[in-house]
Amino acid sequence: MCGIVAYIGSQAAYPIILKGLKRLEYRGYDSAGIALYGKNITNFKKKGRVAELESWTDEITLTASVGIGHTRWATHGEPSDVNAHPHKSNSGKLTLVHNGIIENYASLKQELVQKGYTFESATDTEVLVNFIEEIQQSNNYSLEEAMRIALKRVVGAYVIIVMEEGFPDRLIAARKGSPLVIGVGDGEHFLASDASPIIEYTKKVIYVNDYELAIISQDEIILKNLGNEPITPYIQQLDMELAQIEKGGYDHFMLKEIFDQPDSLTDCLRGRLDSENMTLTLAGVEQHLSVFSQAKRIVIVACGTSWHAGLVAEYMIETLCRIPVEVEYASEFRYRNPVIGPGDIIIAISQSGETADTLVAIERAKEQGAFIFGVVNAVGSSIARISHAGAYTHAGPEIGVASTKAFTAQLTVLAMMAMKIGKAKGTLASAEYDRLIAELALIPEKVKTTLATHEAIKEVAKHYADARDFLFLGRGYNFPVALEGALKLKEISYIHAEGYPAAEMKHGPIALVDENLPVLFIATKDAYYEKIVSNIQEIKARKGMVIAVISEGDTLIRDMADHVMVVPEVDELLAPLISVLPTQLLSYYIGVLRGLDVDKPRNLAKSVTVE
């Protein structure tokens, strides 16, 4: 949540920070602000999108070569000019941007009020900047020392970057639980919540770890821990390209990322799947095959769309590997004192690799002796670093807030894991293993075939853009696809939608069915096909409107449904990789027809780094 950008160097800071904030706007877009250091620190912040900052015409925007910026997803205090970041301390000497939540802000604020501090905003961030200032002034400490002491008392998650009057050639940053990347340039440095604002200027980056401070000048980066011990920076090379974070001629990032999927899945399979030699290479699994083969159980922890990918993986792993699998919401798992120990494997699924609940969940499971395997997209992310092993999805940057290509890449990695472990355990026969490899190799082309039907799906969307409610139903491997389809529609169109196992319809939701309720069935050819046909007949008998995702050549359901969206036939274990695509396109087109910003749905942010 929230996006942070900072620059220190010899170039004008304002355009670099402004452009960077636009690239990070998917992380939050309630309000935005920039502080620049010229003769002194000047602050400009506005409610609304980052574009509002383009109205700033002060001379400092042309001359200042140091600055910090922020685009906000509101936690404490409603979106407003006064609650926008950056925030200044009471003396005006410190200016700070913050991503995260300070959980004990109320008690800290009470202390500060008793000492005479006043507050303009309702934010925890203004409390933090004044708390740092109080420690600094009361003890005559340097800013660096005051930050170290303050952050030892702070409870919660944070990335902060601080500017101080009188020190125009320095920024100080710190992190715990939220991401921070430093771009290393020649006589200049860039700081951001992720690499997208940095890639245009440098591919050399440093990922700051929890409980680390970074003291940054034009020519130097100093890393220290909260104990004031120096840390040697580890510089990595980005594998991201600028073109990956541009729209590439599409109207929206979401549409581009839906159409990226043939390429993103090819990238995910590249170097791993060899259909000619019938081999599958997953280094993170292969190096720990004994751990997986001897596992008592696997617990998958995730949130949102990643949780739906975990549900599909549950079916895959139990079918192919015969290992018990539980799928947990990370937000519940971290609090309910689960029974975890040696012999348990935790698979953490996260697009960003920074999801706060998932991160805390695996930290605690790791302490209890579990083996942690991360399935993430973002290279160098916190979950990737804390895991014992893992597999990157290689989906490329995903800018649209609603996840699309990251979901199918996660499913691809999880399918390969299940196949690899099943083969090693002997629970997956060699002939079946070879057949699935051949099927998986065809998926990118089948994705391309499905996406080619987008105009027909757009026509379906026109019939349902004004719906108030939607019901999504599926069985087996396609049940999680129903959940994911409902989630996408909610996120993008603001239509109330629910996903259910089709058989559960009779246990309550069927009461909602009338001539005004669209019911979307994920009804591809699989072991449940005849049951799905019966469920469709039950809806039609009650005058419900039926939309069906069907396999090519299916005339039975085509004749029963009001509208169909056709996909190629595929093995049922891999069906979600294909059957989810029409629901992504349908949600996109309905959102556009309703005149909504599909890339930035209201109240949402891409990377949930706070509770």
Q: Count of alpha carbons within 13 Å of 237, Cβ hemisphere only?
A: 1
C-alpha closest to that of 422 among 514, 554, 268, 315: 315
Helix 479-493 vs helix 576-593: crossing angle, to nearest 10: 20
Dist. CA 91–CA 68, nearest whole Å: 19
DSSP string, 553-593: T-HHHHHHSSEEEEE----TTTTHHHHHHHHHHHHHHHHHH
Judged on CB neighbours under 10 Å (0-12, 13-18, 19+), 57 is exposed
Give per-residue burial for 352-387: e unless 16+ CB within 10 Å, then b: bbbbbbbbbbbbbbbeeebbbbbbbbbbbbbbbebb
CB contact at 8 A, 17 and 50: no
Within 10 angstroms of residue 155's Cβ, the number of other Cβ atoms is 11
Dist. CA 412–CA 611, nearest whole Å: 28
HEC letters along 22-76: HHCHHHCCCEEEEEEECCCEEEEEEECCHHHHHHCCCCHHHHCCEEEEEEECCCC
Kindly list the catalytic residues. Answer: 2, 606
140: left (phi over 0), alpha (psi -120 to 50) or beta: left
Report how far apart, in Å, the C-alpha atoms of 378 and of each of 181, 239, 384, 419 are. Answer: 12, 11, 8, 24
Q: Count of alpha carbons within 13 Å of 261, Cβ hemisphere only?
A: 31
416: left (phi over 0), alpha (psi -120 to 50) or beta: alpha
C-alpha closest to that of 27 among 46, 45, 1, 55: 1
